[in-house]
Amino acid sequence: MQSGPVPAAVLLPLFLKDGEFHLLFTKRTSHLTHHSGEISFPGGVCEAEDRDSAATALRETWEEIGILPSDVEVLGELDDCHSIHNYRVTPLVGMFPADYPLTVNDSEIERIIEVPLSHFAKPGVYRTEDWQWQGKRRAMHFYMHGEDEIWGLTARILKQFLDVLRGEEDVREEEFSEPADFDYSPND
């Protein structure tokens, strides 16, 4: 059994639609053991045959939504994020062609969500809350898109990406020194 964080990778899939950059998210099916019903980026755990994080993110994207690795132009890598479930996730940003014929793996993915980047700058879309986890206060980020709420690690990765686009400094794990008023339980 591996004692350190489990390496994983996700792809932030960018594409042009109607002259505007969009991000693609997935909503996970409700029957999955981990993160069921949550909104995420395509990705998963690094496998032995993956030569690097990019190979993992591209393989998982192909398995989940049918974008061939050769059809993604990897633009760069964001800083690793550590999850509360002991994963070290490497986020990659990549472009794929507009009007790409997606093939959704319905055993993992309920549906695809396309969001224009400009949406994230609208008032009321973003909020942050102070949550406590393992005795430390952390900022928990939330982004709304219609009825969909993007939160947790996906929102933290999204915030890092948007901060890079805006040229703002990223605040790493966003710990606070004082305890929060309430506890976070991952089973809630």
Quick: pLDDT tens for 86-121: 899 999 999 999 999 999 999 889 999 999 999 999
Are 39 and 8 in contact, with CB atoms under 8 Å apart? Answer: no
Instruction: Give pLDDT, residue 173.
Output: 45
Sign of CA dihedral 152, 153, 159, 162: negative
Quick: pLDDT tens for 128-185: 998 776 677 778 899 999 999 999 999 999 999 999 999 986 554 444 333 333 333 3
Cα 83 vs. chain centroid, distance in angstroms?
11
Instruction: Give pLDDT, residue 172.
Output: 45
Decide if pLDDT at 85 tops 70.
yes
Rg (CA), the chain: 16
Instruction: Give pLDDT, residue 187.
Output: 37
Which residues have C-beta within 8 Å of that of residue 181, sequence separation ≥ 6? 130
Instruction: Give pLDDT, residue 114.
Output: 97
Quick: pLDDT tens for 27-39: 988 665 555 568 9
Q: According to CATH, what is the number of the domain 6-176?
A: 3.90.79.10
Instruction: Give pLDDT, residue 105.
Output: 93
Quick: pLDDT tens for 1-37: 457 799 999 999 999 999 999 999 999 886 655 555 6
The single-letter code of the amino acid at 186 is P
pTM of the model: 0.85
**Closest C-alpha to 61, from 123, 134, 11, 5:** 11
Answer with the residue of higher pLDDT: 58 or 170: 58
Three-state SS string across 80-108, please?
CEECCCCEEEEEEEEECCCCCCCCCCCCC
